[in-house]
Amino acid sequence: MLSLYLAMLASEEDKVLFESLYHQYKNLLFKMANDILHDEYLAEDAVSEAFFRIANAFEKIRDEPWQRQKGFTVTVLENIAKSMYQKRKKDAETFTDSEDMLENCTVDGETAQALLQTMELLSETDRNLLMMKYIYGYMDREISKLLGIAGDTMRKRLERARRRLMNVWEVNALNVV
């Protein structure tokens, strides 16, 4: 990622200064983001976004004393991590009911068979996500790593897959009655 940020900078001097700032603060920013988000993958995303924004605004801070550079860097990270936390909290509240139903229900063999048949009506991507999460018991970060996608992206896809499963399940239930 460092090479991407360096490519955003115009002069060699800026690249050297940015690289120094990056190495000096990357661990601090990760720790701060992880303290806010309680998720290593989201923390990595937050740090990456912070350095992207810092590289975009580097001309504003390159000549500042190290204390102001540190303050700017920390402030950018805190704002990103807090925004991510609030978004994740809001998303979690929105879909708690459907997730609780999927995670906390116990079903008999007939219902389990009907649920598996309903899942067959979903796309392969949705079906795989749901199976990794609810049948095989993978954690979110494991799924995102296996699929090679960012944690937020994976969670959003899982959220949409749950919603589609619920819609198909309800339509099938109405057709049976």
Query: DSSP readout, 6-48?
Result: HHT-SSHHHHHHHHHHHHHHHHHHHHHHHHHHS-HHHHHHHHH
> In the predicted model, what is the mean pLDDT of the chain?
83
Q: Which residue has the higher pLDDT, 74 or 125?
A: 74
Is 86 in the same domain as 103? no
Residue 11's CB is within 10 A of a number of other CB atoms, namely 10
Is 79 in the same domain as 102? no
Mean pLDDT across 98-123: 66
The answer on pLDDT for 45 being more than 80 is yes
Distance in angstroms (rounded) separating the CA atoms of residues 39 and 32: 11
Is 116 in the same domain as 158? yes
Domain span holding position 171? 96-176
Is 88 in the same domain as 127? no
Q: What angle do CA 62, 68, 73 make, to 5 degrees?
A: 80
DSSP 63: T
| 137 phi, psi to nearest 5 deg | 75, 20
The answer on pLDDT for 61 being more than 50 is yes
Mean pLDDT across 126-135: 84
